[in-house]
Amino acid sequence: MDFFTIIRGRRSVRAFRPDPLSREQISAVLEAARWAPSPHGRQPWRFVVLTSPAAKMRLADAMGATWRHQLALDGQDEATIETRFRKSHERIIGAPAVVLLCLYLADLDHYPDAERQAAETTMAVQSLGCAAQNMLLAAYALGFDTGWMCAPLFCQATVRAALGLAADLHPHALITLGYAARDPVRRPRRPLEELVVHWE
């Protein structure tokens, strides 16, 4: 596939077939992430790979308990909470592989003022998004699919505790990997004319 076919073909999959991925396939996706641009070349991301059913279940259960509580705080009724919990839980445990993307700030430059330090952190977050996009595109180019879940942002301490991660790892996203069980519904894209707000 040429590059633009890969970009347009990549889709967000929520249900996967049980077919496993090899260590080599997962490593190829992580290798693509490793080549993403980053501030000062510091590569402020670390990856946690989950393929065992027990690890995926532990993470899904821990995140699900927190999410149930948050949905209740939002005033959602019990039936809605249960449906949303079940779908999210299945997305994690049903994927052959799950990669947790963590922000790692220890190697970044440090500034005496809060404004520049905040900008440095934002650069790191942007580069983590670049690493994630490399993963999504690489997986599609290799013939399998992905889903991007940002739920860890809302329960970072819970994710760290469930997986026994160090305090300096800041969970930001889950990338689920596998072969699509069905074609997902694709959302339309805004026309370019709406997105370019200034050009001179």
Give the bridge partners for 149, in sequence order: 174
Across 48-61, average pLDDT: 97
pTM of the model: 0.94
Contact 140, 146 (CB under 8 A): yes
For the stretch 147-164, pLDDT in tens is 999 999 999 999 999 999
Contact 159, 61 (CB under 8 A): no
How many other C-beta atoms lie within 10 A of the C-beta of residue 162? 20
Per-residue pLDDT band at 133 (split at 50, 70, 90):
very high
Residue 185: CB partners within 8 Å, gap ≥ 6? none
| Residue 174 counted as domain residue | yes
Per-residue pLDDT band at 142 (split at 50, 70, 90):
very high
| Residue 119 counted as domain residue | yes
pLDDT computed for residue 148 by the predictor:
97
Per-residue pLDDT band at 12 (split at 50, 70, 90):
very high
Tell me the residue ranges of DSSP E strands in 9-144.
45-50, 97-104
Across 42-61, average pLDDT: 97
pLDDT computed for residue 81 by the predictor:
86
| Residue 108 counted as domain residue | yes
Q: Give the separation between CA 71 and CA 65, rounded to whole angstroms.
A: 10
| Residue 197 counted as domain residue | no
Task: Say which residue, 32 or 65, is predicted with more confidence.
Answer: 32
Q: Give the separation between CA 71 and CA 69, rounded to whole angstroms.
A: 6
pLDDT computed for residue 72 by the predictor:
87
Per-residue pLDDT band at 46 (split at 50, 70, 90):
very high
| Residue 200 counted as domain residue | no
Pairing of strands 45-50, 169-178: unpaired
The residue segments making up the domain with residue 160 are 3-178
Pairing of strands 145-149, 97-104: unpaired
